[in-house]
Amino acid sequence: MGWKQNSLTARLGIQYPIFQAPMAGGLTTPELISGVSNCGGLGNMGAGYMMPDDIRADIKQVRELTDQPFGINLFVPDRDVSAKTEDIIAMGTVLERYSSELGMAEKPALPEKDYTSLYKKQLAVLMEERVPVCSFTFGIPDSTDISELKKQGTVIIGTATNVNEAVEWEEAGADMIVVQGFEAGGHRGTFHRGESGQIGSMALIPQAADAVSCPVAAAGGIMDARGIAAAMILGAEGVQLGTAFLTCRESGAHPLYKQALLNAREDQTAVTKAFSGKPARGIRNQFMEDMQGVPALPYPLQNDLTAPIRKQAAKMGRPEFMSLWAGQGVGLSEEVTVKELMIKLVKGTEALLEK
């Protein structure tokens, strides 16, 4: 079997084993998702932060733009997230310098939110809409939810950042597993506490591929055909690219974020908990530098506390206070359309692997 016809593409019913990563935060527009799927890859919606009705509306739009498979990604919430009131107040005080610098009238404060019920409502939409593919990060859903989704024919994709997590996902019923190397942009999907999920893709891909029998897709630092070919040779049957799709015309990234990606070098990213409370890789900026050494609240409390500041920073064109998630391959970012990028990836990989 060639690189295109394998058990991953067969299971998904797609032409090329190339996933556009789900990226939460308004980045994966219906135009981006459908563009990737229409070019024979798998477009994915980063729905982790989305309200259930917005997910439904975007699914409808994607379906109007493509008849090809696409995926929806959710964040599996941690149980019992809490922080001491005094720690929340202290973090609010730390963050006040940013809210006042940005001219915000409201002091940073936590909204009332029930994270588990939001996730359950998001899941309900995915079941009602009978979406072709569901992927998850930050954990493994309850077995009843997995079997419900599988019963209706939804393909389940898990996210793992080490071999143990990949094995646990396979036991839980994943049809395929995205293994996220440490180069990756955005949040680490690590859910096994106390184990390292900081393994480079070159080491992670073959060890994960050996440990599970379902197909593995590689994520982290893959920006072009060379990365795709390398991942396939290391044992992956597919790839998931995030950063490379952010600078597509169809992505929802803020123009200043796109500019930062196009200007960044490979040594300018770092992993930080400062924005959300969970480790995530982005382009180093003033907020990340300032917050070094300041202990963050647990995810998603830190995320909710900093979200209004980041939103206001985006509105005011202040990238030094925005989260500029990016992988270590960021130096290879290009201003392209999704179709141009997909053609380049497919033709380039064909040239490398079908020689």
Locate all alpha helices (DSSP H) within the chain, ordered by sequence. 7-12, 30-38, 52-65, 85-101, 115-128, 143-151, 163-172, 201-211, 225-233, 243-246, 255-263, 286-290, 301-316, 338-353
Cβ(281)–Cβ(325) under 8 Å? yes
- Is 186 a residue that touches ligand FMN (CB under 6 A)? yes
CB 47, min distance to ligand FMN, A: 8
Q: Which of residues 306-335 bind ligand FMN (CB under 6 A)?
A: 325-327, 329
CB 87, min distance to ligand FMN, A: 26
Residue 218: both structure tokens together: 């590689």
Size of site (CB under 6 A) for ligand FMN: 30
CA distance 279 to 114: 22
CB 7, min distance to ligand FMN, A: 21
In the chain the first and final C-alpha atoms are separated, in Å, by 14
CB 127, min distance to ligand FMN, A: 19
Nearer to ligand FMN, 68 or 73 (CB): 73
Q: Which of residues 268-307 bind ligand FMN (CB under 6 A)?
A: none
State the maximum Cα–Cα separation within the chain, in Å, rounded to a whole number. 62
| Part of the chain binding ligand FMN (CB under 6 A), chosen from 97-105, 117-125, 146-154, 177-185 | 177-185
Position among 34, 68, 122, 159 found at the interface with ligand FMN (CB under 6 A): 159
Q: Which of 211, 133, 144 is closest to 175 using CA atoms? A: 133
Q: Mask: binding to ligand FMN, 8-37, rule CB under 6 A, as x and -?
A: -------------xxxx--x----------
Q: Which of 113, 112, 88, 92 is closest to 104 using CA atoms? A: 92
Q: Which of residues 200-259 bind ligand FMN (CB under 6 A)?
A: 219-222, 240-244
Position among 52, 77, 185, 319 found at the interface with ligand FMN (CB under 6 A): 185
Nearer to ligand FMN, 104 or 172 (CB): 172
CA distance 312 to 294: 22
| Part of the chain binding ligand FMN (CB under 6 A), chosen from 98-106, 118-126, 180-188, 207-215 | 180-188
Nearer to ligand FMN, 139 or 221 (CB): 221
CB 89, min distance to ligand FMN, A: 29
Tell which phi-psi region holds residue 284, choosing left (phi > 0), alpha (psi between -120 and 50) or beta: beta
Q: Mask: binding to ligand FMN, 119-138, rule CB under 6 A, as x and -?
A: ------------------x-
| Long-range contact pairs involving 59-67 (C-beta distance under 8 Å, separation at least 24) | 59/125, 59/129, 59/131, 61/30, 61/34, 62/30, 62/33, 62/34, 62/37, 65/30, 65/31, 65/34, 65/35, 65/38, 66/33, 66/34, 66/37, 66/38
Q: Which of 253, 247, 245 is closest to 314 using CA atoms? A: 253
Nearer to ligand FMN, 99 or 247 (CB): 247
**Contacts to ligand FMN by CB under 6 A:** 21-24, 27, 46, 48, 73, 137, 159, 180, 183-187, 189, 219-222, 240-244, 325-327, 329
